[in-house]
Structure 1
Amino acid sequence: MSTKFTRGSFQLMKSMNRSIILNMVREEGPISRAAIAKKTSLTPPTVSNIVKELIETKFVIETTQGTSNGGRKPTFLEINADQFLTLGVDVGTVTMKFLVTNLRGDIKHQYALEIPSSPTNTDILDTMEEGIRYLLDKAETPGKFLGIGIGMHGIVDPEQGLSLFAPAFHLRNIPIKETLEKKFKLMVKVENDARAMTLGEYWFGHGNDIDNIVGINVGNGIGAGVMVKGNMFHGFHNLAGEIGHMTVDLSGPKCTCGNYGCLQALSAGPAIAERAKKELKTGRNSKLYDLVEGDLERIDGAIIYEAALENDDLSIELLRQTGRYLGIGLTNLIHTINPERMIIGGGVSKSGSFLLEGLEETIRTRALTEDSKNTSIVLSKLGEHASAIGACVLVLEEFFARSEH
């Protein structure tokens, strides 16, 4: 064995051990050095040396001393959460949201910009740059930033950091990573927004206790993030999770993708609004008229939810019907992937119980086995910030990378 190989192996082992300890402090801290040694089977001197390095680099800090069992009181370790920051961007179809989080996912600053109508590739990149620059300037110590994460709707190539196709804008091949890294001299990670949402929930939300989850982002479009054994599944051409274009009704309405009866054409925000307008034009009585002062073009998912809260029969019916359509799509996912939990986020998820009632009823009726009928389905814990927080996690993943990655 060559000296070079031995040295390389030693560095790799040290890196793996560092990763193990850093993640243990992040997930289980405050925790003592002795507890880390016991749980990892690493020797106490190895743990002490690596912890010393982590303290010197300011990723870890010592906190209050624990209770003594006769000897010296153990000093606990925890992540130095506010020492480093990440910046996340959620590129929706109308609005671009920006936020800064610490290492625990706590939001420190946030900002939003409208996306220009019929934007070009340059418009999208310029809007990103404006929002990112605003938050970097707002931070007192910009040197603390570890990187920038982008959650982009549509199909992306995460390796190249490229937006391959953004259907809402009819744009292709937006060089996000290349452009932003050149502008800001920071690491940039790019992912689909639904996958980013799922990643955010896996780290800081309702997915942090299990490894097999599906996150469904239901807003102006519908997408999903599929996580298997703690790893995001992308598929061969980065198409995995495009469930919005799963056909659920062969004679259904035309979708923006050109096909008919897509889940998105029946369950996304614009589809709900269109069904509401159609019903109202037939003479249905509803509080929606008053809420939009007779201007039916103002109807959107948020107003329908508002009317449902006021016990408006039409709005409740519309949301339950949306839940039933979603239930068909989710039943197909259960039969294909069989996740332990499904997490629903995005604007439409704010409809809460109205949506879940129809959704769960459909799954109970259509799923094959008792276990699959009872698949855990919850609303996003991170809410409207889920995709942007998930974009921050894209950066955190690099710094807390586990040895198997």
Structure 2
Amino acid sequence: MAASAEKLLNLLLRHGSLSRADLAKAMHLSRPAVSGLVDGLIRQGVLRETGCGASNGGKPPIMLEPVAERFGTIGVDIGHETLLRGVLCDASGKQLAVMELPHGNTFESISEQALKLAASLKAAASIPVAGFGVAVAGQVDHAANEIVYCANFPLKNRGLAERLAAGSGLTVRLDNRARAAAQWEYYFGAADNAEDFIFISAERGIGTAIYLDGKLFSGRAGVAGEIRSLLLPSPDGIGLLPVEQAMSEKFLLELSGNCPDTAGLVTAWRRGEPGAVRTVDYLIGGTVYVTGLLTNLLDPALIVLGGRFRDLGPEFARELATRLKVDPPRQLEFRLSKSGRIGAALGAALGVILENCKSNEP
């Protein structure tokens, strides 16, 4: 019964509002079984009826939605070199507040600033806060709720979740930031109705997440889709570079010659400045290589571009779609993330909501 309640709540989160008939069809359950679940969740204050939906010729259906104000969740993203990004969401996944704080890339600085950020977001909430999600650029052991690999931040095996839980008084849930962001895109963002897609994002590092048959695919050790160590030809064609280095902001800005940041690179590229054009062309070539490799292996319907890739805009996405060739030929769409740079924080907050769904048994 608990699994059915979880699936029902997940469907309502993703679609916003559904009728009992919609839920019965999606869950392959009888109408009476779904009505029993719904009635129990309404009694708990988890769901509510919102009025009549459109009629298909008969009696208009009664629509259902999660009770958004039942609780809030906090999400914090540890992925930028100097900034922590935080969000506050309600129980329906709606964003209520966004905040940022700088950090010094030490364990002490990151944990202290994350606690300050969480405290500020909690203070901004007019509803109870149910938990604290943290998205990290690294490998997470979910059973131990511990970071077991982290290349760019000093967080490996440091007990970050325990430290944050003690300091905030909230349950803390860790997740990989690419997978957290991809999960938000699946429920609320650019993935829309795609059940098979790949999310790829670049920030301090590069991250990839894979959805297959509507489920996040993590692999045996939770690192499926990691591409940071794949090798690309260097810009001069002499030697090879790891993808994470070749697509890092520092490397690309140096290659461009005089662009101060990614926004400046995009502006210069659109103006046709030679250094920027050369740099973005190199980035396109590398992105085509890694997305082509993943596409040929996994056959997704969609690639969702986040982080720095999203900042390059629709022209970048169209150029990728034009240059990418797969054999046998098939349709593949590129879309820009809808969450932008706060996608991982939103995904971390969503992870807490989904954990809460598991505990609702009528």
TM-score normalised to the size of structure 2?
Answer: 0.87
Which stretch has the larger CA shift, 215-224 or 28-37? 28-37
Residue aligned with 1:264, SS: helix
Residue aligned with 1:243, SS: coil
Structure 1 pair 236–110 and aligned structure 2 pair: CA distance change class (3 A): same
Which residue of 2 is the match for residue 188 of structure 1?
Answer: 172
Structure 1 pair 223–76 and aligned structure 2 pair: CA distance change class (3 A): closer
Residue aligned with 1:130, SS: helix
Across the two proteins, how many residue pairs are aligned to each other? Answer: 359
Which of 88, 92, 99 aligns to 2:87? It is: 99
TM-fit CA distance, 1:66 = 4.9
| TM-superposition CA deviations, 1:67-125 (whole Å, max 9, x none) | 78999865432222233222111112221100011233321011101111xx3322221
> Structure 1: where are the runs of 5+ without partners?
1-13, 281-287, 289-298
Q: Is the 8 A contact 2:132 2:172 kept in 1?
A: yes
TM-fit CA distance, 1:138 = 1.7
Which residue of 1 is the match for residue 250 of structure 2?
Answer: 270
Structure 1 pair 370–42 and aligned structure 2 pair: CA distance change class (3 A): closer
Structure 1 pair 337–83 and aligned structure 2 pair: CA distance change class (3 A): same
Aligned counterparts, 1:19-30, within 5 A: 19-28=6-15, 30=17
Structure 1 pair 122–310 and aligned structure 2 pair: CA distance change class (3 A): same
Which stretch has the larger CA shift, 94-103 or 22-31? 22-31
Query: In the aligned structure 2, how far is the partner of 1:356 from the partner of 1:179?
Result: 40
Structure 1 pair 28–217 and aligned structure 2 pair: CA distance change class (3 A): closer
Aligned-residue identity in percent: 25
Higher relative contact order, structure no. (Cα contacts within 8 Å, ≥ 6 residues apart): 2
Structure 1 pair 34–348 and aligned structure 2 pair: CA distance change class (3 A): closer
One-letter identity of the residue aligned with 1:391: A
Query: In the aligned structure 2, how far is the partner of 1:239 from the partner of 1:352?
Result: 28
Which stretch has the larger CA shift, 131-140 or 224-233? 224-233
Query: In the aligned structure 2, how far is the partner of 1:191 from the partner of 1:306?
Result: 34
Residue aligned with 1:370, SS: coil
One-letter identity of the residue aligned with 1:333: L
Structure 1 pair 392–252 and aligned structure 2 pair: CA distance change class (3 A): farther
One-letter identity of the residue aligned with 2:343: A
Which of 114, 125, 140 aligns to 2:102? It is: 114
One-letter identity of the residue aligned with 2:247: S
One-letter identity of the residue aligned with 1:19: E
Matched, 1:135 2:121: yes
One-letter identity of the residue aligned with 1:399: N
Aligned counterparts, 1:294-313, within 5 A: 299-313=260-274
Matched, 1:176 2:133: no
Matched, 1:356 2:334: no
Structure 1 pair 68–107 and aligned structure 2 pair: CA distance change class (3 A): closer
Structure 1 pair 320–105 and aligned structure 2 pair: CA distance change class (3 A): farther
Residue aligned with 1:207, SS: coil
Aligned counterparts, 1:1-400, within 5 A: 14-28=1-15, 30-33=17-20, 36-37=23-24, 40=27, 42=29, 45-66=32-53, 74-92=61-79, 93-116=81-104, 119-141=105-127, 143=128, 145-249=129-233, 261-277=241-257, 288=259, 299-364=260-325, 367-371=326-330, 374-400=331-357
Give the superposed CA RMSD: 3.1
One-letter identity of the residue aligned with 1:77: L
One-letter identity of the residue aligned with 2:335: V
Residue aligned with 1:173, SS: coil
Q: Is the 8 A contact 1:95 1:114 kept in 2?
A: yes
Q: Which has the larger radius of gyration?
A: 1
> Structure 2: where are the runs of 5+ without partners?
none
TM-score normalised to the size of structure 1?
Answer: 0.78
Query: In the aligned structure 1, how far is the partner of 2:153 from the partner of 2:222?
Result: 19
One-letter identity of the residue aligned with 2:342: H
Q: Is the 8 A contact 1:316 1:354 kept in 2?
A: no
